[in-house]
Structures are given as C-alpha cells and as structure tokens.
Structure 1
Amino acid sequence: MTLQTAAKHAPVPQTPPLPQAKPESLGLSSVRLQRMSDAFKRDIDKGTIPGVTVMVARRGQIGWFDALGKQSPAASAPMAQNSIFRIFSMTKPIVSIGIMMLLEEGHFLLNDAISKFIPEFADQKVGVENNGKLDLVPLARPITIQDLLRHTSGITYDHTGNSLVQQLYQQSRLRSRKISNAEHATLVAGLPLLCQPGAEWNYSRSTDILGRIIEVVSGKSLSAFLTERILAPLQMAETAFHTGAENADRLAEPFAADPWSGDKVQLFNMLEKPVMESGGGGLVSTTMDYARFCQMLLNGGVLDGVRIIGRKTLQLMASDHLGPNVRVQGTLVPPGHSFGLGFAVRTQEGMAPFAGSLGQFFWSGMAGTFFWIDPKEDLFAVFMSQGPGQREYFRTLLRSLVYAAVE
C-alpha cells in the first residue's frame, strides 16, 4: 500500500466521549434535568431558536447530554450530539491557556510589554474625545500581556459601541477573514486605544493579539500551536478554524433573521478556511470536544493523565484580576463577578441574577455558545446553539435550571 493510499484509508480522528453516569449517582436530579430540557423545548417550539445541545457533568462524569430541536432551520435534520458550532469567543479561553503555557516555559512575564513581541505597539496612542474630535495622547504605561488576558489593554471591538475610536475600527479592514494574524495586529497597533492601559475593562480584540504573540514566540501558526499543544493532547479532534466539506451535513445554523429583533443574522462559513486565525473568535467545535477542555479545567489542568497547564497557573487565571479600581464597561461581566486571565470569575455569592458558587469561571460565544466550570460543586456545563439574539437570556436560564438540579 502506498503512503497516499494509506492516508486515504487512515481512520478519521474521533473525539473520545467522557464517561457517563446516571444523574442521581452524581448528585443530580434527573427529574429536574428533564425540566431543563423541557424548558429549552418550549423555546424551540415557540420558534425562539432552531435547536440546542446541553451537557451537565459532575464528579468527572456526564450526567445529562441532550440534543434538542433542529440543527438548521433550513433542513429537517435534528440537532445531534456531534453537531458542529461556531464557538466564537469560547476560542478565547483556549488561546489564553496557550499563552499561559508559554509563560510556564519562561518565554515572557505577565507584565512584559507586548511591544517586545510586536514592535508596532510601541508607538500607539490613546484617543481622547474632545468636542467631537479625537486628541491623541501618549501611553501612561505600555500594554502588557496581562492587560491582553484581562481585557484592560485599551484595545476595543468595533461592535461594542460607537465612540470615535470604534468608528475608526469600523472603517478599517479588521473584520476581514482574508488578512493574516500579523496584518491584523499591525492594523490594531495603528489605531488609537479607547483608554489608558489598565484603566478600564473593555471587551476587545486583545485575545487576537495574544494569538499573534503565540505565533511570534512559538514560530508556528496559531492553528498549528493550538493543535499540537492543546487540541491533540486533549483529543479534541473536531476543533479547528474551519471544518471539511465531509462535515457539511453536521453544521448548526441560525435563523436567517433573529426572532426577537428581526435583525439579519450573518455568521461565517464554517467550511471556508480563513487566512485570519482569530484567537478571539475563530474556532468551530462540538459539544463533546469542548467538554473535554472543560473537564481538563475542572481537573486543575489535566485530563486522562495529560497535563496541559499547571494547577497554580490555572488558579491564577481563574482569580479576580480587576479589583475595585478598574472600571468595567458593558454588560458582559455580570454583577457579583470580575474578570481573570481569559475567564469571567464569580467573586460574590449574591449580586448576580442567577445561582452559582464563589470561584466558578466561564465564558461564552457571540452566536449562543456558553460554558462554566464550578470547582466547588465539581461541575461543569456546556451549552451550544446558534442564536445570537438569545444568548444572554439562555445563559441566565441555563444556570438557574442546572443549579436547580444539584442535590
């Protein structure tokens, strides 16, 4: 058999499932978990969302894994446990783990200036609005790697507001999937910052810049680094920046128009290989793939005997890195929460409009995906959907329903 023939007949890599157990053996109520699935069925029947998957795991085993509704509103195929989703910003925790792996190898310090790796950032200015005009003022201090991880860099997103700086973002080519990570970083460095580094929490393209730093330090493309160091060791066989044509019948799709706002929904084509490997939002994945990443986090950085990140490094990442002096802009960090290095972190038992535990950490994706890790309850949950307009409603609903089932 030739090498080419062998490659043709090589088995397609499969994501091994995590072990499963009856809910009651894990301290979960099957009656209450069924109520959770029923609640999502009601929304599907109402036409709020085409379909969802929901997984709850505790004590190292899956207690509930349901696929509900349709995979795509344009086809009859039911949502499946192995449907493929755009996970958008759930890419950020994976890339944040990647940069911290390089930190653990001594390639840099958290308080290193990012201009050490991307020199264009040395000349960046802060944009201060003055009578409808933008004054450019020098940096009080450089942007650090820690700033990128905790979104205190002063970098922003073009869709989170309409300030004069964000208008410059909107007029740029930053949204193009046809530019490289290096070109993207140069474009961001050429635009003014929204505020001084360290002054505010602004959700941003910071994690895309971390992706570029991974490339500079490792000498590999972001996809090659993530595959080699995180995705392959965790056997996340279906997580990548695009998926092959053979998976065209497994893609989860949204309604063409959002059922609540009427806005047109446009998400990227998962079958198209992008030039830009967005560390902030470019990966596609499955529920089980992401569950393996979650179980590794819940285990303190290790899965099936493979250590990805040190226990103390992960503890640092899942801690409050904002404190009382950093102003949090926007609504993505809920009351009673702060932000760590790549994750939001619960800092108070109360305040938030949903149940949870001190020290739990999480993040979500713009198209409707969501996960959280609760070390105190030895629990994680993964939710996948492609419904951008319903994402905040479902995040809150899911937490209430899961915690109602914890015995």
Structure 2
Amino acid sequence: MHESSSEMADYCLTQVCSYDEPVSRYVQFPFLIKNDSMPSFCGYPGFDLICNGNDKLLITLPNNLGSFSVQEIDYVNQQLWLNDVDNCLPRKLIAINGSSFVGKSSFYPILEQDYWFYNCSNEFFNSSHNLKIMLIGCLSGESYGVFASPLETIVKGNYSSLCSKIGPIKVPVGPNEEDYPLDLRGDIRLTWSKPLECGKCYERNGRCRFKSYSNFEVECVHLPHHGLSKQAIVAIALAFATPLILVTFCITYFVIKAVLHRRGHGNGANTTLALAVAVNPQPQIVIHGLDQSVIESYPKVILGESKRLPKADDMNCPICLGEYMAKEILRTIPNCGHCFHVDCIDEWLHLNASCPVCRNSPLKTPENNVL
C-alpha cells in the first residue's frame, strides 16, 4: 500500500494464456489473469480472467451466467467478445434463460435481441419450402432440427403441431443486430463503463494503470511523444539559420566582386551600386541627378593606341576601377577634366550632379575629341 504508481507499473506486464493466441486476446489493465503470478493491483475489480487447462482464456460472469471463452478484447472501444466454451452458444443461451446479462457484473450488453428457438420434426422441414431457415447444428439431430428466429410467429397454422417453441431468449449482439447470424454462431458482445479513461488512453497508444492503492482512480502513462518541443524547434532553427545567413552573405559578396573583376567596365557602376546596397543598405533618399541632355553635352573622347589622357596617372576608371583600353569611349567632366567610362559616368550623373572624384559641379562644354 506504500509503493508508488511507477513502482507498481514495473510489476504489471501484458499477460497471455498462450503465445499462440492472437494479439486480441492479450491481457492488460483493467483485465488480469488471476491464476498467473501478477499482483492484484494490476487489474481492476471485476475484470478477473482465468486460463483453463487447454490454455484458453475464460471469464466467469455472475447471475448464474457461467463461464465464457474470451474471443477478443477491444481496449479502445471497451468491448468484450465472448462465446461458449464448448462452441455451442445457443445451448448456453437456452440454459441461462431467465438470467440477465445486466446485473452485478462489470459488463453489460451493447444491445440485446430477443430470439425464439424452434425444435421441429423433419416433417416440418419437408413441407415448409418458403421459410429461410438456418439449422443450429450443435442442437439438431437426425429426426429433428433446431433453428432460431427474431420473429415469434414464424411457425403458423398447421405447422405449429410439428414444432415446439422456446423463448424469448435475450442475446447480447453488436450495434447492428441485423448482422447477427440466425444460427447464433456469432460472438456475444459486452461492454464496460468503468474505468472509462482507459479506452481513451489506449487509443493514444498509452498505458492505463492505477494511480495508487488508495482508490480506484486510474491514469494514462507512457504516451508516445509526437514531434519536438517548441524550444527544440527554435534551437534547431537558429542552429541552421545562422550559418545559412552567413554563407548566403559571403556567396553574394564574392559573386558580385567576381563580376566586377571580370567585367572591369561597362556596367561597373551598376554592379558597384548593387554591392553597396547589398553590403550596407541605406534608407530611401531623394535622388537629384542631371538630365540626359545635360550629360550628353559633356565631352567624349576616344582613347587612342597611346592611351594618352589629360592626366598621365589616370589609367583606371575611378568608378568601376577598370583599366582603360584602346578604342574605349571616355567622357570627361568640364572644368575638372576627370575622365570616366561613358557608361559609368552617365549612370553616376543620373544620380548625382557633381564629379565623383572632386565633387565639383561641372560646366557645360560640348566637345568630342580623340586622344
């Protein structure tokens, strides 16, 4: 009476009469095989089972109902499927006529159907061709036959003298009594309401047991864990996201740098601006550049083979940093005389009204030359 529920659970294992039996006959809480070595707290009161000499699982019901063989235990829907130990359920039902499945037992029928049993001579069967009859083999003989019917008046008129009737006999059936065979070879189905929580527990693949010895309160344990906790998901996300962001940034940076190095000119200004935005994004600002007509008025020069420029040390475009090549078209800024690739400086002047080197505002001096 002093052990904890976890210590109690160590003793309570799944029981079987024989491992040759199907899984549907394996025994666990609230049922308990009494002639096994399992402690009594491993089963709920009134759910005792036994194994007979043939390793068959049996249950004994009160109210003089006697013993039945257990065909199946549905722990989720809390249903018990029973049949006669001697495989003649109709004889068992007739023998307990007058006793009810509803009583002191922990189990009760899902639904009961009234049946009438008819014991008729062979003369009846030879003359009754319109009846749909299924003989009950274990009750019939050479000169007579026994059948059951949910209809009391199935034998009428002159045929009544050829049959004797017993009934009504209440037969526990499933939710759809019309599916129950007329020869009553099917299993009777019972259910239980306490402990109710165990059905929900087994549906979630858990394990039902007593919380303690002190009362009949049960609990559901050993529920499987589905998925990861929120903390684990956040930790994994951060672990993957951080290096991914760094790698993405590095790849972007080196790709842009490689494009700059390969092209050396042309759209260098566009790429430089893209790199600036990618590395150090700035808030939106109002752009004040020059009109295209003004930009076109600035002198253009075609670089000759000697690559002579007004300033001898100006061998690279200050915008794209690419080296000037012969036959390239350059544009100079009036007044300060700084040279640039045409595409580079045109793009710049669309955004800015000053020289990118000295920041002086140029003068309009239209002129095209060859250097």
- In the superposition, the TM-score normalised over structure 2's length comes to 0.20
Q: Could you say which structure has the higher strand fraction?
A: 2
- In the superposition, the TM-score normalised over structure 1's length comes to 0.19
More RCO (CA 8 Å, sep 6+): 1
Structure showing greater radius of gyration is 2
Q: Could you say which structure has the higher helix fraction?
A: 1
